[in-house]
Amino acid sequence: MKSKTLAVSLLGALLLGACVQAPDLSTVDEHQNDEQAVGTEVPASKLNLRLPVAGEETVWVSSQYKGKPVLIAFMATWCPWCKRSLPALDQTSISYKDKVEVVGVFVENDIAPVNQVIKDFNIQSKILYNGGSVAQDLGVNGFPHIMLFDKDHRLVRVWSGYSDTLGYEYAKEIDKLLQ
C-alpha cells in the first residue's frame, strides 16, 4: 500500500511540474536571468508568424502588427498552469484592446482541444493554434511562456511559468511601453 501511495504521489508531482522545465543551472551565470534576450530584435524569419485563429477561418500574421506592441502567450491544452494564466491574458486583451495585440498560442495542431479550453474558460482573447514549431523556433521550453515585444518587435520581457501576479506584471510592462 505504501509503495502504491508513493508511486501515485510521484506521478502527481511529475504531472504538476510538467508544464515548466527547470533551467540547467550549470550553464547559468549568477547574474543571468530570463531577460537575457531583452532588447534584442528577434530575427525577421522568426517574427513573421502565421498561425490559424481558433473560431475563425483566418490566419494571424505578426508582421501586420508592426508599430504595435505584441504580447504572445505560448500554452498547451493539457497544462494546468496555462489554464490558470488564461484570465490574466483575457483581461489584458480587454484592457489594451486597441493599443496592444494580445494573443494566446496553443501548440496543438488539433483545434478540438483548443476549442474546448476556449469554451470551458469563456476566453474572449484571440487564440491561435498549431503553434508548436513557432514555439520551438522562439526557444520556448516550458508552459506557459509569455513574450512581450515592443512596437518595433524587439523582445522586452519574458515570463516563464505561472504566477498569481501575471495580470499585474503584464499591465506594468505594457504601461511602460505605451508611455
Supply the angle between the helices 80-95 and 166-178 in degrees, to the nearest 10. 40
Distance of CA 72 to the CA centre of its chain: 5
Write down all domains in the chain, each with its CATH number in brackets.
34-178 (3.40.30.10)
* Residue 75 DSSP symbol: E
pLDDT in tens, the chain (179 residues): 554 543 434 334 333 444 544 333 222 233 233 443 555 555 544 567 899 999 998 999 998 998 899 999 999 999 999 999 999 999 999 999 999 999 999 999 999 999 999 999 999 999 999 999 999 988 898 999 999 999 988 888 999 999 999 999 999 999 999 98
What's this model's pTM, rounded to 2 decimal places? 0.77
Distance CA 133, CA 151 (A): 24
Q: What amino acid is encoded at 139 in this protein?
A: G
